[in-house]
Chains A and B, each alone.
Chain A
């Protein structure tokens, strides 16, 4: 076993996912099998090979920096779960001591 319940719980936390206990069990078992399958790549010697990040390399494209219209505020906000004026409203990020 490469993967334990603790690893799945830790990774889920990094990925900002709450999991039910039965999901932790399921993913622990499945990830272990999937990662074993991925270990077949270790059969290959890749010493000195450069990794490919994009298959078709495109050079960094520069453009003139000019001002143009962007989305209107209302359009940007119309999907907001909660808003206050022209802002997205979220729960407190910094704890305030009373």
Chain B
């Protein structure tokens, strides 16, 4: 059974189809692992064991009747940010403790239609605000490669669970790097699709013009399979793109001869880990060896991306989080009148970082400061977008590091929000431009911590990114799982 962890979802499906394995066995295998390791790792907030086994029995019945589909009976961990009917969904916040959504997010509905198995809810930074998962109001998730370090964030529970083999795949969300950065720091594959490619209906909103849903998986093939299931137009999300979805697995195995890869000089900066730099340089030669052409390019407004992002995302968050007022769901604290009730509820229900962002976002939107901050940031966002447009006139994709460093120590950046914000320096520009991007493991630093390589594509060109990542993965052969979890 252990070797299941080395198989792709496609290979696992083959075993299920040939009846060498049942969905109940597979589900129990992952549930047992989650029980054994979660005490140390703290990746899951809650297991949905009964639910999972019921879904597994249903999957087995379906297979008995000859049903077949790419995710039938495959166990997933779900970031605790997706509304799932009847399943407690907290966004790792006290304000949503005990919240039971009365409906399914579109992505959950799509996975249910594919008859996946819902194993449990994965930890995250509260309301997806953070880069280390330390902002969860429930627990701190550990990095499976070194339990004294953070797994990245905000989808840190998702990345840790996939890396340690506590699920076959996971869903995450990415507003400024929240899929790619933890994927990079935990040595797994993570994709943030083009803004609008995956419906956000039923996703608890953080920053609506930036949020996007995507998979975290142990290999590129699995990423493509999950993308096939979740991508597509949804009338319930007004920003959903009405374009057909290609079969993302079709491009896997095609070569990358003649592919033009842009290497932006602004992403190889002072203060970067030397091991990250060295490993990235080695990785670039893999692409060259496979016939791709490396082109030096420039994205001149990169240095302004973090400031732009934290104006836009806090502004949008302050507006989105206005709905947590103790009236319709979640926590309520009593007050002497309704305003006092709102204030006490929100004081008690929100954590430090969430309050910090609400205050910052309210400030940049407030009368007299709107033009200086929010409008200015919108304009710089245009400049950042144009930088990418310019580079994509000559290049097919862009390759960069995911993060300037490997995973840092738990607690290291908690007292210094600005330093924490700067750890997303290479992932943020992509969200501002709405582009698709993915993180692929490319090696380790001297201490054995994973390093991620970022592939950025043109809008809706996820297939070409997957094709490139697949070639890279096959050539580079990076170790997938830490031995401690074998």
With A and B bound together, what is the CA distance between A37 and B310 in angstroms? Answer: 10
Q: Are A37 and B307 in contact (CB under 8 A)?
A: yes
Q: Is the CB of B325 within 8 A of A16?
A: yes
Provide the residues of chain B in CB contact with A17, threshold 8 Å: 343, 346-347, 350, 355, 358-359
Interface size for chain A: under 10, 10 to 19, 20 to 34, or 35 or more residues?
35 or more
Which size class do B's interface residues fall under? 35 or more
B339: min CB distance to chain A, Å = 7
Question: Which residues of chain A are near B239, meaning CB under 8 Å?
Answer: 54, 56, 58
The one of A15, A38, A46, A50 that contacts B318, using a Cβ cutoff of 8 Å: A15
With A41-B376, A56-B195, A79-B330 known as contacts, the answer to whether A14 contacts B381 (CB < 8 A) is no
Quick check: which of B96-104, B159-167, B390-398 contacts chain A, the rest being far away? B96-104
Given contacts A18-B343, A81-B332, contact A30 B417 (CB under 8 A): yes
Assembled-state Cα–Cα distance A20/B350 (Å): 13
Contacts of B328 in A (CB 8 A): 79-80, 88
B337 touches A91 (CB 8 A): yes
Total A-B pairs in contact (CB under 8 Å)? 172
A28-55 CB contacts (< 8 Å) to partner B: 30-31, 33-35, 37-38, 40-42, 44, 46, 49-55
What per-residue 1/0 map shows which CB atoms of A5-19 lie under 8 Å from chain B? Answer: 001100111111111
Residue A90 CB within 8 A of the other chain: yes
Q: In the bound complex, do residue B329 and residue A34 qualify as a contact, i.e. CB atoms below 8 Å apart? A: no
Expressed in whole angstroms, the Cα–Cα distance for A40 and B375 within the complex equals 15
Determine, out of B11-19, B68-76, B360-368, the stretch whose residues face the partner at the interface. Answer: B360-368
Contact digits for B160-195, partner A, Cβ 8 Å, 1 yes 0 no: 000000000000000000000000000000000011
Q: Are B363 and A56 in contact (CB under 8 A)?
A: no
Q: Which residues of A contact B375 (CB under 8 A)?
A: 51
A90 touches B338 (CB 8 A): yes
| Complex alpha-carbon distance, A16 and B349, angstroms | 12
CB contacts (< 8 Å) of A50 on chain B: these are 379, 382
When the two chains form their complex, are residues A55 and B434 in contact, meaning their CB atoms are under 8 A apart?
yes
Report the nearest A residue to B417, measured CB to CB: A30
A76 touches B325 (CB 8 A): no
Contact A56–B355 (Cβ < 8 Å): no
B329 touches A79 (CB 8 A): yes
Q: Nearest A residue to B386 by beta-carbon distance?
A: A49
| Nearest CB of A to B421, in Å | 8
Contacts of A15 on B, CB cut-off 8 Å? 318, 346, 358-359, 361-362
| A71 contacts chain B at the CB level, 8 A cutoff | yes
With beta carbons under 8 angstroms apart, the residue of A16, A35, A51, A61 that contacts B381 is A51
Q: Please list the 10 inter-chain residue pairs (A to B) with the smallest Cβ-Cβ separation, ordered nearest first.
A: A55-B434, A51-B378, A79-B329, A75-B102, A81-B332, A46-B379, A18-B347, A15-B362, A18-B343, A52-B381
10 further interface pairs, Cβ-Cβ under 8 Å (given A15-B359, A18-B346, A27-B356):
A31-B359, A41-B307, A51-B381, A51-B382, A55-B434, A61-B238, A75-B103, A80-B328, A88-B328, A95-B337
| Residue ranges of A at the interface with B (Cβ–Cβ < 8 Å) | 7-8, 11-20, 23, 27, 30-31, 33-35, 37-38, 40-42, 44, 46, 49-56, 58, 61, 63, 71-72, 75-76, 78-82, 88, 90-93, 95
